[in-house]
Amino acid sequence: MTTLDATHNPTLRSWVESANVAGTDFPVQNLPFGRFRPAGTDEPFRIGVAIGDQVLDLKAAKVVDHADMNLLMAATPAERAALRTALSEGLQEGGAKQGDWEIALYPQAAVEMALPCRIGDYTDFYTGIHHATTVGKLFRPDQPLMPNYKWVPIGYHGRASSIGVSGQRFKRPQGQTKAPDADVPSFGPSKRLDYELELGFLIGRGNDLGAPIAIADAEQHLFGVTLLNDWSARDLQAWEYQPLGPFLAKNFASTLSPWIVTMEALAPFRAKFERPEGDPQPMPYLDSPANREQGALAITLEVWLQTAKMRDAGEPATRLTRGSTTQAAYWTAAQLVTHHTVNGCNLQPGDLLGSGTLSGPTLEEAGSLLEITLGGKQPMTLPNGETRTFLEDGDTLTLRGYCEREGAVRIGLGEVSGTVLPA
């Protein structure tokens, strides 16, 4: 998955002119997968590949003979490589497929996107060490990180049924909370609604029950990466999370971007996985030379907010933070796969692994309002004069991600947005 080949050639151009525009998320070197149908129709969703501002219908282009994304994701690495090569060659400038494939293109502005695959199970991890440390200081000043954090990837099983695609609109959750000075809890809408800037790793080939996936093989089971916003009700969470962890504070909504950027497309943007000096090195089952050499992903992540007042005034969203995954993640995607299966757990095509909040070491790189406002103690002032400690009704939160490196063509993960509605 980390091998460069002809599909990554930075000189490649596409006969789809919008794919050649500087700064596009979807040049011919990317080729992410999603599920779409023409907007305003009840046609079945089909598999598409984003190219510039268009989407190629793979069945209409006679590239695949089905519309089952999970089946496509379960392909072998060799089959996936062959499909990527065929798409790259067919979409390249001067490609022999142009005449046949032009009629299989749809403008992205004219389609409806669905979740990119069927998500059977969802596990959310906690790989962002700066997020874990900052949040830990708010609740446990004397011990921000629990003793196990640097030894074992921490995670919990989330709820797949409430995961929605970008554009999701959800009601503010209600539940029990307890004020520090109250004798008993109260019930009502969350007052401390937050976002979490995450990546989602989607499983391709699964494993049999009782057959762990070794670290050397883990990336062969990863299909690709999406943007993920795991909305969180911090006040519900504070009351309910002990002793078993997140529950209603997390499962009311999670929003996923519609495009899966494949591990093959990310090959030019791999980075060394290095632990800070003095930290324990991973146990042998979580360690390999390849994982140390290029197990990390170099992805720039941004958070944008548009309030209802800004939208009504015709004002654009404002960027809250920008950071890099290389500064944020304490564990690699391969380590998450290996640890998830070390006890014999079986993963299946389409299973989603969340990275956890990916915050950098500074507030300008924070991945949640809990960090930016120090638990609500320091309100943030927006350009139009509004303030925020946590999200308010009508707020639209958007995450964006992209990869840039000298000698490679920039590729993007698209964006994922969601809007808070009243309870």
User: Is 131 marked active-site?
Assistant: yes
HSE-CB for 245 with a 13 A CA cutoff: 10
Q: Check whether 392 is labelled as a binding-site residue.
A: no
What is the CB neighbour count within 10 angstroms for residue 253?
Answer: 22
Helices (H) and strands (E) in the chain, counts: 9, 26
Q: Tell me whether residue 59 is annotated as binding.
A: no
Say which residues have a Cβ less than 8 Å from residue 378's Cβ, sequence separation at least 6.
none
Q: 255: which residues sit within 8 A by CB, 6+ positions away?
A: 163, 164, 165, 166, 168, 228, 229, 231, 416, 417, 418
**One of 130, 131, 221, 339 is an active-site residue; which one?**
131
Q: Is 25 labeled as ligand-binding?
A: no
Q: Is 368 a known ligand-binding residue?
A: no
Q: Is 217 annotated as a binding residue?
A: no
Query: Does 124 belong to an annotated binding site?
Result: yes
112 marked as part of a ligand binding site: no
Would the annotation count 327 as a binding residue?
no
- For 145, counting Cβ atoms within 10 Å of its Cβ (0-12 exposed, 13-18 middle, 19+ buried), the class is middle
Residue 198 counted as an annotated binding residue:
yes
Tell me the C-alpha distance between 328 and 303, whole Å: 15
293 labelled ligand-binding:
no
- Distance CA(147)–CA(139), nearest Å, equals 15
With contact defined as beta carbons under 8 Å apart, do 336 and 222 qualify?
Answer: no
Q: Which residue type sits at 419? A: T
For residue 281, give the nearest of 150, 129, 100 by alpha carbon: 150
**125, amino acid identity:** F
* Sign (positive or negative) of CA dihedral 218, 76, 354, 318: positive
Cα-Cα end-to-end distance for the chain: 44
Work out whether strand 174-177 and strand 186-189 pair parallel, antiparallel, or are unpaired: antiparallel
**364 annotated to bind ligand:** no
In this structure, what DSSP letter does residue 128 have?
Answer: B
Binding annotation for substrate: 126, 140, 237, 241, 357
Instruction: Cite the active site residues.
Output: 131
Binding annotation for Ca(2+): 124, 196, 198, 230
Binding annotation for Mg(2+): 230, 250, 254
